[in-house]
């Protein structure tokens, strides 16, 4: 049981096929106690399918999942006692009040009566809903609803939390507050697995798992991910006119991907130092005035696009 | 108004119906099922009622009477008993609906007094059927008794023109000549049109709201009129095809006589379709979720058509206030026309009043439908 | 906030109320030809309502909208000929194929058959959609659906494109494809108004309008907006981020302390003065920490900081 406590989530070669479609393709991971791990990937990449298998809601086609020390395939009900689950479409009853929802989920999770009042008070305070217990959920703004949903998901004090796209449609301020709560829960030893398609949200996680078309492409801390070799360095170029610059850069040596960002371009070059010295001249000769060119840190999105690109290049499936 | 846009919408609508198994079923299979179900299921005729016999006399005469029952297509003999206990049990178990009890002195009393009584014990759980059963039984017994009278007077050497029990005769006459199926099936055509038309169109706009396609559609230059015509045209054609099917099915399968002209039938059917499709469309513009629209669609078209159009339940037998309501039920006029065209062979001139009523109805609905859709979100 | 010379989209005094609550309040902005103008804000800020009013599908309470010289409020149907609107929710027919959807919209805009066929080819090619012409729209991935939506929106070569959160839930690779098409449209003179809840995506616009509770808060190029950032954003790497936060949260001149995966982010009003103070505070509290680096603020950092500043001012 000690191993389970230190590593509450273990997946080994998880595979899920729906007919001929492979939704999850040999995903293996180990998540430590108190860790916040983000599943990052586009819609339909298989993020939710992995989570559903870990929750015991879906049976894996192959592989094994051990959650809270329990083999999910053998005892899916047992697993559910130890987890809290919250999704974007979390079924809060919008025609019930905040308090009524909390009492309902307290009943569902069989929270002992002696403890229920205290737990509900904690959830209400945590969600910042004090004084709003009698408000109908339908009258709450998105951010409040998400926090209430989280409050409901932790009523039974689960050591593991699965959050499926919890911050969709929440304003930035609320989003930051929400993540603050997640960090507070993690500090108490709760393990959090969260999916998101907001690339920038990866920054909040201790570790990020990049998922594309059912496969785990990479898993590391956000800082480590950004230091991954992209096959080059990233430069930002502000210049005029942009159209001519794009054409000029396509024939420049050592320049890979060129992406337009508003009035600027992001270039992937083989070597930053070499490019910084040669590119301004190359562009000037073609009538492009360079206002600014410098090296920048790649974003998680840059990393993702690059990794997805290389991983699928061999298969040639992506047009 | 641009034909190009109307056509584009109509083509799109046809493709969608074609790819949606449920719509396709409503359009193609529903008419067939309704014809079968209503054609066979709802019959006001009572035929082959199970009858048991407790013949306490077992004479030549009593057997003659039983044979009469046997010969009648309204009854079929299922069992014979020799005590009341079995009679009661058979009725309780529903083995028969009517038990004929012939008294022990049946022949004797008839020859002594000229009259004799038989007892008919009827299961009156379903009073309607019970009444009909009693009526039939009276008719059979009446026929038998008049024959006996004729025979008796012939034996006495008297005249053969004995007055016959007129009431019993009239019942037999009514039922033999007017098959209730002939009376009902023309009305089923109205029911099919109402169901198919309203079901399909009540979804047509609400589906676009529900699936989120409406927002894009209203951002194009399409006009509400183009939208309505494009959307209803395919269903109008489907409705007419269903009408042709119903007509053929009625005439060739149920052998209902068709004495009128096709022109009258299709003109009035078109009017009815305009009303039904228009109502479906109106509902669809008002109610944005599909389930709600479908339910309201059934409520305002199928229900009044079933209950208040007189297709199966004669209007003149309804209470007066209800009769008054039927004048608002558009299907009433169509059913009147259908029955007259099928059975009486009536033409435009004979049907002036109901046709005029339908034209007014169609005009009002078409006007409302054309104005119902606003190209706006809110 | 001076209006650009040749404004393609002009909005003034725009107001919309739902059940008495103002969803859009006194909105005013102008978009020049060839801009990619971003309407940025959280859910419920009023972005969709603005888009709908501009597209002529929702009448405003009051105000003025002029698109390509046409008064949209007075004559929405004429304006619809010149603009294309892509709603947030996929608005195409999932039970029709890619080709059928395109043809349907071409017919609604009465594009002659020959012209239509000439246009479809390049649009399909530019969006890598050519192999999927006969596939039902419902069977496309999220990214492909959005690209199909864009093709349908472009079939009548509109001069103005209104895109309501077109990239929500779309994978990053398709998102880049999508933006590449937008930039090439811009090159050909199309004016684009795009709304997005992805604040990182806002950086790709030529100008941005930050919308909050139906009001326009700031409007400028991403670069100049970032210069409005009050103070400097620092990232403090630490294995014990919570301890760092608890230590520095109350310090003078430090605000917006935020836990991130690798450490803590905070805004300081004066880097030269606060940085040594921070280090001292952490050292005396015995909190382990690593590098302290100046970080380029994202539009989200900016957004949150600006709104907080406004609230404090109020």
DSSP per-residue codes, A121-137 = HHHHHHTT-TT-TTSBG
Quote the tokens at residue C271. Answer: 């880097």
Which of chain B's residues have a Cβ under 8 Å away from the Cβ of C59? 376, 378
* Structural domain count of chain B: 2
Res A310: pLDDT:
58
Distance in Å, alpha carbon of A125 to nearest chain C alpha carbon: 19
List of chain C residues whose C-beta atoms are within 8 Å of the C-beta of residue A44: 141-142, 171
CA gap C190, C153 in Å, rounded: 12
Give pLDDT, residue B168. Answer: 33
In tens, the pLDDT along B132-180 reads 777 778 878 877 877 777 777 666 655 444 443 333 333 333 333 446 7
Angle between helix B166-177 and B127-155 (nearest 10): 120
Model confidence over A207-237: pLDDT tens digits?
Answer: 999 988 889 988 998 888 887 767 788 898 8
Those residues whose C-beta lies under 8 Å from the C-beta of residue B128, and which sit 6 or more positions away, are none
Number of domains in chain C: 2
Same-domain status, A120 and A242: no
Instruction: Evaluate whether residue B377 is within a structural domain.
Output: no
3-state SS, residue B136: helix
Per-residue pLDDT 10s for chain C (314 aa) are 444 457 899 999 999 998 888 889 999 999 999 899 999 887 778 899 999 999 999 999 999 999 999 999 999 999 999 999 999 888 899 999 999 999 999 999 999 999 999 999 999 988 888 999 999 999 888 888 989 999 999 999 999 999 998 887 777 777 888 888 898 888 888 999 999 877 778 888 989 999 888 899 899 998 888 888 888 999 998 888 888 988 998 888 888 888 887 889 899 988 889 989 999 999 999 999 988 888 888 888 888 888 878 877 77
Q: Which residues contact B150 (CB under 8 A, 6 or more apart)?
A: B160, B162
pTM for the model: 0.77
Other beta carbons less than 10 A from residue B61's beta carbon: 17
Distance of alpha carbon A297 from alpha carbon C286, whole angstroms: 30
Which residue, of B148, B177, B206, is where some domain finishes? B177
Residue A103 makes CB contacts below 8 A (sequence gap 6+) with A116, A120
Same domain as B278, residue B155: no
The answer to whether residues C253 and C269 touch, using CB atoms and an 8 Å cutoff, is: yes
Could you tell me the residue range of the domain that residue B336 belongs to? Answer: 3-42+180-372
- pLDDT (mean) for B122-136: 74
The answer for residues whose C-beta is within 8 angstroms of residue A77's C-beta and 6 or more apart is A56
Q: Same domain for C208 and C259? A: no
Residues of A in contact with C200 (CB under 8 A): 199-200, 299, 301
Q: Residues of chain B whose C-beta is under 8 A from some C-beta in C?
A: 2, 4-5, 7-9, 11-12, 15-16, 19-20, 211-223, 375-378
**Is residue C244 located within the same domain as residue C221?**
no
Residue that finishes a domain, picked among C226, C245, C277: C226
Alpha helices in A198-271 (DSSP H): 222-226, 242-250
Cα separations in angstroms, B231 against A226, B181, B208, B262, C111 = 54, 35, 11, 27, 21
Find the Cα–Cα–Cα–Cα dihedral B95, B101, B107, B108, rounded to 10°: 160
C199, C203, C221 member nearest A172 (Cβ): C199
Q: Does C312 touch chain B (CB under 8 A)?
A: no
* C73 in contact with chain B, both atoms CB, cutoff 8 A: no
Q: Report the C-alpha gap between B217 and C85 in whole angstroms.
A: 10
B378 within domain boundaries = no
Percentage of chain C with pLDDT > 70? Answer: 98
Identify which of C265, C271, C251 has the alpha carbon closest to the alpha carbon of residue C300.
Answer: C265
What is the pLDDT at residue C187? 83
CA distance B164 to C198: 96
Residue B15 to residue C110, Cβ atoms within 8 A: no
**Band of the pLDDT at B227, cuts 50, 70, 90?**
very high
- Among the candidates B154, B177, B200, a domain finishes at B177
- Give the end-to-end CA distance of chain A in Å, rounded to a whole number: 48
pLDDT at C192: 95
B19 and B151: one domain? no
What tens digit of pLDDT does each residue of C205-224 get? Answer: 989 999 888 899 899 998 88
- C185 and C278: one domain? no
Strands C83-86 and C160-164: parallel
One domain for residues A132 and A157: yes
Within chain C, residue ranges assigned H as helices are 47-54, 76-82, 98-108, 113-126, 142-154, 172-187, 222-226, 241-248, 271-285, 299-313
Q: To the nearest 5 percent, what fractions of chain A are helix, strand and coil?
A: 40, 30, 35
pLDDT of residue B179: 64
C254: three-class secondary structure by DSSP:
strand
One domain, residues B205 and B245 = yes
Name residues of chain A where pLDDT drops below 50. Answer: 1-3, 312-319
Name chain C contacts of B16, Cβ cutoff 8 Å.
93, 95-96
Asked whether residue C219 falls in the same domain as residue C238, the answer is: no
For the segment B99-117, the average pLDDT, to the nearest whole number, is 79
Domain end residue (candidates: A169, A194, A226) = A226
Cβ(A208)–Cβ(A29) below 8 Å: no
Structure tokens at C171: 């994978």
The whole-number pLDDT of residue B175 equals: 33
Asked if A170 lies within 8 A of C42 by C-beta distance, the reply is yes
Give the residue from C12, C76, C34, C21 showing the smallest Cα distance to C193: C34
DSSP states of B179-220: -HHHHHHHHHHHHHHHHHHHHHHHHHHHHHHHHT-HHHHHTS
Q: C244 and C216, same structural domain?
A: no
Chains that touch C (3 or more CB pairs under 8 A): A, B
What is the structure's pLDDT at C108?
93
* Measured distance CA(B269)–CA(B352) in Å, rounded: 15
- Angle at which helix B262-286 crosses helix B224-248, to 10 degrees, equals 140
What are A183's two structure tokens?
């960090």
Domains identified in chain A, total number: 2
Specify the higher pLDDT residue, C51 or B101: C51
Given C204, C226, C248, the domain boundary residue is C226
ipTM: 0.80
Query: Around A281, how many Cα atoms within 13 Å sit in the side-chain half-sphere?
Result: 6
Same domain, A240 and A221: no
Phi first, then psi: what are they for A65, rounded to 5°?
-130, 130
**DSSP three-state, residue A259:** strand
Q: CATH number of the domain at A84, please.
A: 3.40.50.300
**pLDDT computed for residue B68 by the predictor:** 84
Look at residue C150 and give its three-state secondary structure.
helix
In sequence order, the 6+-apart residues with CB closer than 8 A to the CB of C280 are none
Within a domain: B80: yes
Q: Which of B177, B209, B240 is the last residue of a domain?
A: B177
Pairing of strands A207-212, A215-220: antiparallel
Q: Please state which of the ranges A59-68, B95-104, B136-145, B214-223 shows the lowest mean pLDDT.
A: B136-145
pLDDT greater than 80 at residue B45: no
> Chains A, C in contact: 3+ Cβ pairs under 8 A?
yes
CA-CA distance, B167 to B135, in Å (whole number)? 10
Judge: A263–C221 Cβ closer than 8 Å, yes or no.
yes
| Any domain includes A304 | no
Q: The domain that contains C242 carries what CATH number?
A: 3.30.70.100
CA distance linking residue A77 with residue C167, whole number of Å: 38
Cβ–Cβ < 8 Å for C153, C84? yes
Residue B61 phi, psi dihedral angles, 5° rounding: -65, -45
Chain B residues near residue C87 by CB distance under 8 angstroms: 212, 215-216, 219
Mutation for B interface: C16, C55, C57, C137, most B CBs within 10 A: C57
Predicted pLDDT at A312:
47
C303 contacts in chain A (CB < 8 Å): 172
pLDDT at B103 over 50: yes
Count CA atoms closer than 13 A to C176's CA, side-chain side. 17
pLDDT at A299 (0 to 100): 80
Give yes or no for a contact between B168 and B138, defined as CB atoms under 8 angstroms apart: yes
The three state secondary structure string of A29-48 is EEECCCCEEEEECCCCCCHH
Domain range spanning residue C250? 232-296
Q: Which domain holds residue A144?
A: 2-226
């Amino acid at each position: 049981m000690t191993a389970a406590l230190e590593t509450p989530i273990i997946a080994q070669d998880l595979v899920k096929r729906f007919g001929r479609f492979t939704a999850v393709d040999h995903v293996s991971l180990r998540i430590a106690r108190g860790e916040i791990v983000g599943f990052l990937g586009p819609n339909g990449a298989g993020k939710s399918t992995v989570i559903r298998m870990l929750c015991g809601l879906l049976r894996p086609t192959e592989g094994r999942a051990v959650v809270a020390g329990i083999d999910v395939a053998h005892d899916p009900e047992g697993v559910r006692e130890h987890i809290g689950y919250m999704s974007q479409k979390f079924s809060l009853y919008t025609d019930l009040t905040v308090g009524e929802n909390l009492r309902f989920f307290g009943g569902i999770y069989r929270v002992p009566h002696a403890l229920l009042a205290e737990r509900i008070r904690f959830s209400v305070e945590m969600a910042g809903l004090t004084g709003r217990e009698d408000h109908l959920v339908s009258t709450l703004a998105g951010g409040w609803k998400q926090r209430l949903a989280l409050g409901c998901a932790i009523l039974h004090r689960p050591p593991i939390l699965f959050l499926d796209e919890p911050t969709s449609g929440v304003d930035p301020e609320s989003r930051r507050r929400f993540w603050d709560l997640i960090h507070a829960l993690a500090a108490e030893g709760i393990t959090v697995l969260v999916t998101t398609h907001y690339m920038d949200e990866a920054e909040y996680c201790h570790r990020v798992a990049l998922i594309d078309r059912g496969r785990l492409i990479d898993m590391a801390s956000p800082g480590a991910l950004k230091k991954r070799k992209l096959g080059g360095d990233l430069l930002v170029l502000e210049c005029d006119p942009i159209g001519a610059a794009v054409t000029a850069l396509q024939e420049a040596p050592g320049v890979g991907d060129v992406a337009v960002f508003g009035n600027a371009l992001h270039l992937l070059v083989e070597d930053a130092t070499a490019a910084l010295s040669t590119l301004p001249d190359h562009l000037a000769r073609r009538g492009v005035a360079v206002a600014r060119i410098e090296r920048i840190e790649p974003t998680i999105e840059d990393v993702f696009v690059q990794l997805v690109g290389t991983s699928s290049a061999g298969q040639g499936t992506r047009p | 108004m641009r034909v190009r846009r109307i056509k584009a919408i109509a083509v799109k609508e046809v493709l969608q119906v074609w790819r949606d198994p449920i719509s396709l079923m409503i359009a193609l299979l529903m008419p067939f099922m309704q014809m079968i179900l209503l054609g066979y299921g709802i019959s006001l005729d009572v035929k082959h009622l199970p009858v048991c016999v407790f013949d306490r006399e077992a004479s030549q005469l009593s057997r003659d009477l039983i044979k009469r029952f046997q010969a009648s297509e309204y009854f079929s003999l299922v069992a014979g008993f020799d005590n009341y206990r079995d009679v009661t049990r058979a009725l309780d178990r529903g083995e028969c609906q009517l038990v004929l009890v012939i008294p022990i002195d049946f022949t004797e009393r008839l020859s002594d007094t000229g009259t004799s009584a038989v007892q008919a014990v009827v299961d009156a759980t379903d009073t309607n059927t019970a009444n009909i059963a009693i009526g039939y039984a009276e008719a059979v017994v009446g026929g038998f008794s008049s024959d006996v009278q004729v025979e008796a007077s012939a034996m006495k050497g008297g005249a053969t023109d004995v007055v016959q029990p007129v009431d019993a005769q009239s019942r037999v006459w009514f039922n033999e000549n007017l098959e209730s199926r002939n009376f009902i099936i023309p009305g089923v055509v109205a029911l099919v049109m109402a169901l198919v038309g309203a079901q399909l169109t009540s979804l047509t706009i609400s589906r676009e709201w529900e699936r989120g396609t409406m927002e894009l559609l209203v951002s194009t230059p399409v006009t509400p009129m183009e939208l309505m015509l494009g959307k209803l045209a395919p269903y109008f054609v489907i409705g007419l095809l269903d009408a042709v099917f119903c007509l053929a099915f009625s005439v060739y399968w149920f052998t209902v006589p068709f004495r009128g002209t096709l022109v009258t039938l299709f003109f009035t059917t078109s009017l009815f379709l305009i009303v039904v499709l228009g109502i479906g469309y109106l509902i669809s513009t008002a109610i944005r979720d599909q389930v709600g629209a479908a339910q309201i669609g059934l409520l305002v078209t199928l229900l009044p058509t079933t209950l208040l159009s007189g297709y199966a339940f004669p209007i003149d037998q309804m209470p007066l206030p209800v009769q008054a309501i039927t004048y608002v039920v558009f299907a009433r006029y169509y059913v009147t026309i259908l029955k007259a065209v099928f059975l009486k062979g009536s033409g435009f001139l004979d049907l002036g009043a109901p046709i005029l009523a339908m034209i007014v109805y169609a005009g009002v609905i078409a006007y409302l439908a054309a104005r119902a859709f606003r190209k706006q979100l809110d | 906030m001076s209006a650009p010379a040749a404004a393609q989209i002009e909005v003034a005094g725009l107001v919309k109320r739902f059940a008495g609550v103002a969803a859009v309040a006194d909105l005013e902005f102008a978009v020049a030809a060839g801009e990619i103008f971003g309407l940025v804000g959280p859910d419920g800020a009023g972005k969709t309502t603005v888009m709908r009013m501009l597209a002529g599908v929702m009448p405003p309470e009051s105000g003025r909208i002029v698109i390509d010289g046409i008064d949209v409020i007075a004559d929405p149907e004429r304006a619809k000929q010149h603009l294309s609107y892509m709603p947030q929710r996929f608005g195409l027919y999932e039970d029709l194929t890619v080709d059928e959807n395109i043809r349907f919209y071409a017919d609604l805009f009465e594009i002659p058959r020959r012209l239509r066929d000439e246009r479809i080819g390049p649009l399909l090619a530019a969006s890598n959609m050519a192999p999927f012409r006969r596939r039902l729209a419902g069977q496309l991935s999220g990214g492909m659906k959005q690209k199909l939506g864009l093709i349908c929106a472009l079939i009548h070569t509109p001069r103005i494109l209104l895109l309501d959160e077109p990239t929500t839930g779309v994978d990053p690779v398709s998102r880049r494809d999508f933006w590449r098409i937008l930039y090439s449209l811009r090159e050909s003179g199309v004016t684009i108004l795009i709304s997005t809840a992805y604040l990182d995506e806002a950086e790709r616009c030529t100008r941005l309008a930050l919308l909050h509770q139906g009001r326009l808060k700031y409007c400028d190029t991403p670069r100049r907006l970032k210069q409005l950032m009050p103070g400097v954003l620092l990232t403090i790497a630490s294995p014990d981020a919570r301890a760092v936060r608890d230590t520095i949260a109350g310090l003078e001149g430090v605000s917006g302390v935020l836990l991130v995966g690798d450490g803590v982010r905070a805004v300081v009003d004066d880097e030269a003065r606060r940085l040594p103070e921070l280090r001292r505070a952490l050292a005396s509290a015995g909190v382990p920490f690593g590098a302290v680096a100046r970080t380029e603020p994202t539009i989200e950092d900016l957004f949150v900081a600006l709104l907080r500043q406004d609230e404090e001012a109020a």
